[in-house]
Amino acid sequence: MRIFFLLIFLLNCFVNTVNAQSETIPDAKIDKLVKQAWEDFKYSNFEKSLITSRVALNYATASKNNDLIAKSYKIIAGNYNELSEFDKAIFFYNKSLYYAYKADNDSLKHNLYNNLGNVYCFEKKQFDKGINYYKKSIAYGLKINNVSHVYFTNLNIAWAYFDIGKFKEGYPYLKFIENNIEKYGDQSTEIVVNMLTGMYANYRNENDAANAYFLSAIKAGENGEEQSDLSYAHLEYSKFLTKIKKYKEAYEHLTAYNQITEELYNQEKLKKASIAGFNLELDEYKRQIDKIENEKISQYQSLKKSRIIVILFILVSLILLVLIITLIKNIRFKKQHNLELLKAKEIAEEASLLKTQFISTISHELRTPLYGVVGITNMLLEEHKELSHSKHLSSLKFSARYLLSLVNDILQINKIEENKVILENLTFNISDEITMIKNSLSFLSQKNNNKISVYIDADIPEYLIGDKLRLAQILMNLVSNALKFTKDGEVEIKVDLCKIEGKNYFLDFLIKDNGVGIASVDQGKIFEKFVQVGRKDEDYQGTGLGLSIVKRLLGLFGSTITLESDIGQGTSFSFMIPFEYDPQKTKKIIDEIEVDLTSNEVYKILIVEDNLINQLVTKKIIEKNNYVCKVVDDGFAALDIIEKESFDLILMDINMPLMNGFETTKRIRLKQIKTPIVALTAFDKDEITDEAISSGINDIIVKPFEPLKLFKIINYLIQEAENAG
């Protein structure tokens, strides 16, 4: 009890001190600060807005004005939302909501629920939760009879549905917006309304209408101050132009989007704002402590002062002294710990840089010979038609494609972990793909005297749409694992049609063997990177990445993998993936693939390449399209030949001895030669884009490549050069 009363007295003294130091100013001045913070926020001056709102929040808390506290928290949350600190934004929006309820401010509740809906729909991608908040916002908008607020929230709901491709669900909200635009629309919503109408017209393939609405949105944005909405209008218009194959205009609007975004989120602003945000968080912690202390003190305001309290005060002072000494020691320890963390961070960053450099080097060294393998395989199939039905050569071609996909994923495993790998929509026959996998693994099955049996549900359509290369990668990993760990046995590949939802056909895959099996204690770790369970060096080979990649790739499909196994009882892996079945879309994809690569024009192409195999492959590809082609080994030879002959386009390797492709291009441009130059390289495109542009290179294509893509770029650049001339 003595210690209890001692702590009470300590809290009383502490609160009295805090209250004595708190400054109270008129609510009108606090309201002026709140309005100033809001103005700074609207003009993207996040640093100043955070600082001003922090001052306003301190004064509002001292004044106990719940309405102004709620408004200050709302502005703070908005700043964190714009700075992409979405968890902090949600935290402060909820704080604002708490005080808005205390102040009984329905208008503020409407705005806050709308903002929470924006964060969950557009940033956190928790669509159902976001729509819930939007509906609460609409309820409060109707309660305060402010239809203009309801109009704005309906706009956000329509945008949210359209953003995830649910145009039918979003259309009723768009219809409400269009019916009320003259009454409640304004300049701030004009851009978004036109953009959403353009998106819906695009969905309905009404291209002329879509184009007109997108242009209206961009025009409204250029005449107004809503730069963020203008950037989204450029982005959606770029997607539309790409769809209708106006690639040049699409690129221009994508560039405009990037420029506006970069201006809005200047890095220097973000750095300064983060400092202000840190101070804000410290103030928040202090307010939490003050609140707890005030609540405790309020319970014991009736305690009488006596001699015992004086004695307790002395004891408390001694305890405080001990606590202060302990606090000082803790601060010193934390400083030392922070220095150690900083050093560890520097080491980690250095290791990350070395890893990136290693991946870049390996990427180039692997893609270069792969270009030769893929190219020569295609040459054999084209020049020796009698081999076109050879299972071995077809398996070689398939394995080369698979190996290229696998190498790209392994070399860019960090991109997979950051969900930067995007699934493609290709048409394929599931039976053909599995047969190809079976044939390509026949050597492995023969080695261990295994049999591969395949069962495919007859109800599965002939052609499906999805990422067949990723699916093949998953199956190749699982089947090859089963074959390696099974001897004198059988590996079963089974595909069943599980269910149909609209155009989506859900296929259930089962890979089952009767091999050595996996112990239950090891089953939890086999999907980790570089893990190989029960391996004997003389028996099995592999990187230990296969199952890790399988798990991550299935995650991209929105699926998970199930394992059933036991020692000596074999192993079975099962998973489910939805694929689209759309005959019209399949026909369109096939028509786009079957493009005649020949040209009526005879263009003269110069190839600058030091690798003899790559020279042969590239020359064969170019001459197959009836182009005239010349090859030189290095940059100096390129400079000599362009003095004597003229070319329509130059294909430039980057990594060459004596003088690399960047330096060669710079010297060509110094001669005032404007011939289009395409970098034909094994480097990752993101690594060299800036240097390529600065040196005068017009475009980049990464080896190995699809010939169709190369000829599209060649034709476009040559025609552009002729038009400019």
Domain 595-724 has CATH 3.40.50.2300: yes
H or E segment and range at residue 371: helix 307-383
Looking at residue 596, its pLDDT comes to 46
Residue at 705: amino acid letter = F
Listed residue (66, 96, 65) closest to 80, CA to CA: 96
Beta bridge partners of 496: 508
% of residues, the chain, pLDDT over 90: 20
| Apex 677 CA angle, 674 and 678, nearest 5 | 160
pLDDT, one tens digit per residue, over 107-133 is 898 889 989 988 888 888 888 888 889
Q: Is the pLDDT of residue 457 over 90?
A: yes
pLDDT, one tens digit per residue, over 580-630 is 998 888 887 776 654 444 556 788 999 999 888 888 888 888 888 888 899
- CB–CB of 502/558 below 8 Å? no
pLDDT, one tens digit per residue, over 306-323 is 667 778 778 888 898 888
Residue at 595: amino acid letter = V
- CB–CB of 444/481 below 8 Å? no
- Report the C-alpha gap between 191 and 208 in whole angstroms: 18
Looking at residue 401, its pLDDT comes to 65
Q: Which residues contact 562 (CB under 8 A, 6 or more apart)?
A: 573, 574, 575
Q: What mean pLDDT do residues 190-198 have? A: 86
CB burial class (10 A; 0-12, 13-18, 19+) of residue 357? Answer: exposed
* pLDDT band (50, 70, 90) for residue 2: very low
pLDDT, one tens digit per residue, over 397-447 is 667 666 666 666 566 565 666 565 678 888 899 999 999 898 888 878 888
- Report the C-alpha gap between 298 and 177 in whole angstroms: 52
CATH number given to 1-104+266-303: 1.25.40
Highest mean pLDDT (candidates 353-357, 370-374, 662-666): 662-666
* pLDDT band (50, 70, 90) for residue 169: confident
Question: Hey, what are 113's tokens?
Answer: 């629920």
* pTM, entire model: 0.41
Mean pLDDT of the chain: 80
Question: Would you list the domain boundaries of the chain?
Answer: 1-104+266-303, 105-168, 192-265, 423-592, 595-724
- Report the C-alpha gap between 95 and 604 in whole angstroms: 68
Q: Name the percent of the chain in helix, strand, coil, to the closest 5.
A: 65, 10, 25
Question: In terms of pLDDT, which residue wins out, 294 or 227?
Answer: 227
pLDDT, one tens digit per residue, over 209-252 is 889 988 888 888 888 777 888 888 888 888 889 988 888 888 88
pLDDT, one tens digit per residue, over 646-684 is 999 999 998 888 889 999 999 999 989 989 999 988 777
Q: Is the pLDDT of residue 558 over 80?
A: yes
- CB–CB of 682/661 below 8 Å? no
How many CB atoms lie under 10 A from the CB of residue 56?
26
Report the SS3 class of residue 490: strand
Q: Is the pLDDT of residue 537 over 50?
A: no
Least confident of 152-156, 520-524, 604-608, 691-695: 520-524
Looking at residue 538, its pLDDT comes to 42
Q: How far is CA 151 from the centre of its chain?
A: 31
- At the second CATH level, the architecture of 423-592 is 2-Layer Sandwich (3.30)
Q: How far is CA 418 from the centre of its chain?
A: 7
Q: How far is CA 4 from the centre of its chain?
A: 54
Looking at residue 370, its pLDDT comes to 66
Looking at residue 14, its pLDDT comes to 44
Longest dimension (CA), the chain: 110
Least confident of 93-97, 245-249, 350-354: 350-354
Q: Is the pLDDT of residue 554 over 80?
A: yes
Residue 225 is given by DSSP the state S
- Report the C-alpha gap between 725 and 720 in whole angstroms: 9
Least confident of 57-61, 442-446, 452-456, 568-572: 442-446
Question: In terms of pLDDT, which residue wins out, 428 or 294?
Answer: 428
Question: Do 423-592 and 595-724 show the same overall fold?
Answer: no
Residue 119 is given by DSSP the state I
Residue at 8: amino acid letter = I
Looking at residue 284, its pLDDT comes to 61
Looking at residue 82, its pLDDT comes to 83
